[in-house]
Amino acid sequence: MPSQIEIAEALGLTRQRVSVLVKQGMPLDSIEAALAWRQAREDERRRPAPVVELETLTDLTLEQSIVTHKARVEHAGEIWDAAMRGGDTNGPKYQSSYNAAFKTLIDLEAELERRRVANAEFISAKEATAAMRDLMAEVVNRLDKLALDCAEGCNPETPAKAVKVLEAWVRKTREDLSRAAG
């Protein structure tokens, strides 16, 4: 059975660090056992957090989960805040819990948005711009025809007067739309 000094030299650690690790459970049977124990701890530390299977949630339950999770994040934040104000030594643990809950919330919201985009509930800015341009062109075309189409209905006696009034209104409306678009 090797000494703590031999294990410290073999692992490239100080004797004090080996003493701390022994208290945490590192075996002293052999250098290989100590090395395996440290590697297992390192692997555990680097292992990613379990992944929530978002694919199994429907959009409705995903939205409900987000609402519930927002409340949990808020609660974790309140606990962390109270711990900081009260000088609680567990403050860093509460902060870690809050950070993890907040990250999960962001992941849930990103998944919901991804699904909405995949379901075409959102359109790209390019598509939206083109659709708006087409819509406004149709509005302007109808405005240009307004005076002639409506004049007789507005003033059956003298439609020419109605045409002038309606054309003035169309001109002002187009100017207002141009200013709003610019």
Query: Which pTM was predicted?
Result: 0.39
Percent of the chain scoring above 70 in pLDDT: 91
pLDDT tens figures, 136-174: 889 888 888 888 888 888 888 888 888 888 899 989 988
Judge contact between 34 and 26, C-beta under 8 A: yes
What was the pLDDT predicted at 182? 66
pLDDT tens figures, 8-26: 899 898 989 888 888 889 9
Cβ neighbors of 170 (< 8 A, separation 6 or more) are 143, 144, 146, 147
Rounded (10°) CA dihedral 110, 112, 118, 120: -120
What was the pLDDT predicted at 99? 92
Residue for token digits 């410290």? 8
Report the alpha-carbon distance of residue 172 to residue 182 in Å, rounded: 15
Q: Where are the domains of the chain?
A: 4-46, 54-118, 125-181
CA angle, 111 then 115 then 121, to 5°: 135
Q: Which is nearest to 178 in space by CA: 154, 151, 143, 146?
A: 143
Q: Which of 30-44, 117-131, 162-176 has the lowest mean pLDDT?
A: 117-131
Residue type, 56: T
Q: Band of the pLDDT at 50, cuts 50, 70, 90?
A: low
